[in-house]
Amino acid sequence: MSKADAKEYMVKKEPYYYPIGDEIDRYEAAYDVRMPIMLKGPTGCGKSRFVEHMAWKLKKPLITVACNEDMTASDLVGRFLLDVNGTKWQDGPLTTAARIGAICYLDEVVEARQDTTVVIHPLTDHRRQLPLEKKGELVDAHPDFQIVISYNPGYQSMMKDLKQSTKQRFGAMSFDYPEAEVESQIVAHESGVDAATAERLVQVAQSSRNLKGHGLDEGMSTRLLIYAAQLITKGIAPVAACQMALVEPITDDPDMRDTLGAAVNTFFA
């Protein structure tokens, strides 16, 4: 692997991140000792943005993998590919990250099957090694390499939880939706919508978050609020924008749709 590869994964422009507490200092300390980190929290609350910001701040390459249940260990580690000259090994994203010294961010890691998750184990203890069994190579992780996973605890069934043997390899940082004033600022910043509209969108979201566990799996995320705000800046009427970006994505139940629609009307009609 050449230096050029690391360059390809550098975060070039500062990703806007509004700190909620002392998470930047804590992450920097954890990175200093190359502690594997688990970011816990609901979907769309800023975990990925935080990692992007930290990779930029620390000037380290970032390789992100969106995990899913069809993902195999080979998708992470690499595989032999057939070409005209026979077979050729191709590193997977985890291997590339270990070689070039990137921060490897495995997003929604519980979505992956457990036999996939275990390939990260030897990288997360004192060994910092990745065995490429099919290739017969043991990769020593670059000194800058760090592994970060994200995990949404509210969302998991017992079948889909991380094993203790995996969990206990990570330091953890909890994230949640920011308080109303901060979240409004984030929504306004990301979409360009005016402050009053951003505040009302956040109020709609907060009412939906109270329904979590009472007919909703998750409340409206910061990400969805930004979508709604972006539609509004494009001239879509706020009620319609909320319907499209906030209500319809999170429920298929007609009664819940009415309940959330009423919340939207309270703030926007």
Q: Give residues in contact with ligand ADP (CB under 6 A).
A: 16-18, 20, 41, 43-49, 150, 178, 186, 190, 222-223, 226
Determine how many CB atoms are found less than 10 A away from the CB of residue 130.
26
- Where are the strands (E) in 92-191, listed by range? 103-107, 129-132, 137-140, 146-151, 171-174
Q: Which is nearer to ligand ADP, 43 or 116 (CB)?
A: 43
In the complex, the smallest distance separating the C-beta of residue 109 from ligand ADP, rounded to whole angstroms, is: 12
**Least Å from the CB of residue 246 to ligand ADP:** 14
Nearer to ligand ADP, 49 or 169 (CB): 49
Q: CB–CB of 201/229 below 8 Å?
A: yes
Q: What distance in Å separates the CA atoms of residue 109 and residue 182, rounded to the nearest whole number? A: 28
Please name which of 254, 23, 44, 27 lies closest in space to residue 155, comparing C-alpha atoms: 44
Whichever of 71 and 141 has its CB closer to ligand ADP, that residue is: 71
Give the CB-nearest residue to ligand ADP.
46
Of 39 and 130, nearer to ligand ADP (C-beta) is: 39
Q: How far is the CB of 177 from ligand ADP (least distance, A)?
A: 8
Residue 87 burial (10 A CB sphere; 0-12, 13-18, 19+): exposed
Least Å distance, CB 182 to ligand ADP, is 7
Nearer to ligand ADP, 46 or 61 (CB): 46
The nearest distance, CB 82 to ligand ADP, in angstroms, is: 36
Min separation Cβ 224 and ligand ADP, Å: 9
Q: Rounded CA gap, 60 and 102, in Å?
A: 6
Secondary structure (3-state) at 88: strand
Which CB sits closer to ligand ADP, 6 or 229? 229
What φ, ψ does residue 99 adopt, rounded to 5°?
A: -75, -40
